[in-house]
Amino acid sequence: MCFSPFLYLLAVFTFTTSILLLCLFALHEHFFPLPPPSASPLCNETCGVISDQAEAKLALPHLLFELLAILARHLPRYVAACLAWLWPIVLGFLVLPVTFVAFLYGTALLVQLYILRHWIVGESNISKDELLVRLMAAVWEAHGRAFHGYEVFGMEKLPPPGEGAFLIYYHGTLPLDAYYFMARHIILRDRHPIPVVDRFLFRLPGLQQILRLTCAMEGSIEECVSLLNPSLTEANRSHHANYSPEETSEPQSRKGVNPSRSGQVLLLSPGGVREAIFSDEYYSLLWGKRRGFARIAIKAKKPIYPVFTENIREGVRVVQYGKRKFRLFIGLLKLERTLCAHPASSVVEGSCYIGLARNLCLTWYPEES
């Protein structure tokens, strides 16, 4: 089932246009009366028509204000009449189905949250941040199961906890698959993947706490390498700068693994927001000249795990008409982070597939792009 805000806009536009046309037809004779019959000669008639046209042009502002006054006076009556005629149709074909679907999926969401209630609470000595992370993971897990029947295939291909994993995924219109995967990974493996996001997200009000809890980062190449393979980074530091690991050792984590010694799960989409907006129904990759992910994998000496979620673009559709024409204009003005139309959301099934590990050779990309 598809809920499109464009349908509501179209209905409002049609309703408003109909009211304006009715008012114009009703007031046409008042604003543009027919000229009275006259027995004057042809010249006098022509001169009279010209003078009437000139007076009409001068009186146009006055007529517009009068039209607005009449519309304001009679508009409530027309609106009430139209609503009295339309409310059975709106109630039968719009309100009741939407309400039914909302209650249905709201119930499914609550059921999934109830199933995960014991995992959310966990141990009695759990910290506040850990409790919030579990709550967010449970909400997104319930949303994915209730609305999209989300499943992950190939989780066993990822390395065990303590080893770094570099996951590359296709960026859909909305990165719902990234949220669902992070939630599923936290629940199944009790390990939080670190997403690499665009810097504009840190400037949006109200998202700072969520980004902090999810450990989201802008992610330079050096930072990503240090997260994937901390031992390699420490070896390089000790070799080049007389680095002493004992002096900068960090406290043990809750699982008894030193976070400076264990690799993290890194989640990155090379296409980013540009791929989310300008990609099509054929799931075209719009990576351009972005080779940073390859440098990260090579420097960290870690393989890449490709991740793809089917129907990720069918879940949320965007306006396709004219998108290619304005792509260059939007790219030049850097509007791809702010200009995105989501006219319809659909309840479709989505399954995530994790591919086999891919090792990149050192000659895969030029050293300087």
- The 10s digit of each residue's pLDDT in 42-70 is 444 455 545 555 555 556 666 666 777 77
Is the pLDDT confidence value at 1 over 50? no
Put simply, whether the predicted model's pTM sits higher than 0.75 gets the answer: no
Q: How confident is the model at residue 346 (pLDDT cuts 50, 70, 90)?
A: low
Cα distance between residue 267 and residue 165, in whole Å: 9
Q: Known catalytic residue: 28?
A: no
- What distance in Å separates the CA atoms of residue 244 and residue 226, rounded to the nearest whole number? 16
Does 323 have pLDDT greater than 70?
Answer: no
- Domain-by-domain residue ranges, the chain? 7-32+39-97, 149-354
The band of 247, judged by pLDDT with boundaries at 50, 70 and 90, is very low
Q: Minimal CA–CA distance to 7: which of 318, 315, 314, 343?
A: 343
| Catalytic-labelled residue, pool 118, 171, 239, 342 | 171
* Sheet with 165-169: strands ordered across: 151-153, 351-354, 304-309, 165-169, 265-268, 194-195
Q: Across residues 303-319, what is the average pLDDT?
A: 85
| Model pLDDT, residue 339 | 46
Asked if 255 contacts 157 with a C-beta cutoff of 8 angstroms, the reply is: no
pLDDT at 360 exceeding the cut of 80: no
List phi, psi (to 5°) of 138: -65, -40
Q: Which amino acid is at 302?
A: K
Q: Left, alpha or beta for 215 (phi > 0: left; psi -120 to 50: alpha)?
A: left
Stretch 131-155: mean pLDDT: 90
What's the pLDDT band for 251 if we cut at 50, 70, 90? very low
- DSSP assigned state of 171: -
Specify the pLDDT at position 18. Answer: 65
Separation between Cα atoms, residue 208 and residue 250, nearest integer Å = 25
Phi and psi, residue 368, nearest 5° = -120, 120
pLDDT at 13: 64
- Of 94-103, 262-271, 321-330, which range is least confident? 321-330
Query: With bands split at pLDDT 50, 70 and 90, how would you rate the model's confidence at 10?
Result: low
pLDDT in tens, 185-244: 999 988 889 999 988 888 888 888 888 988 899 878 899 999 998 887 666 665 555 544
- Could you tell me the sign of the dihedral formed by the alpha carbons of 271, 276, 277, 282, in that order? positive
| Sign of the CA dihedral with 341 first, then 277, 224, and 240 last | negative
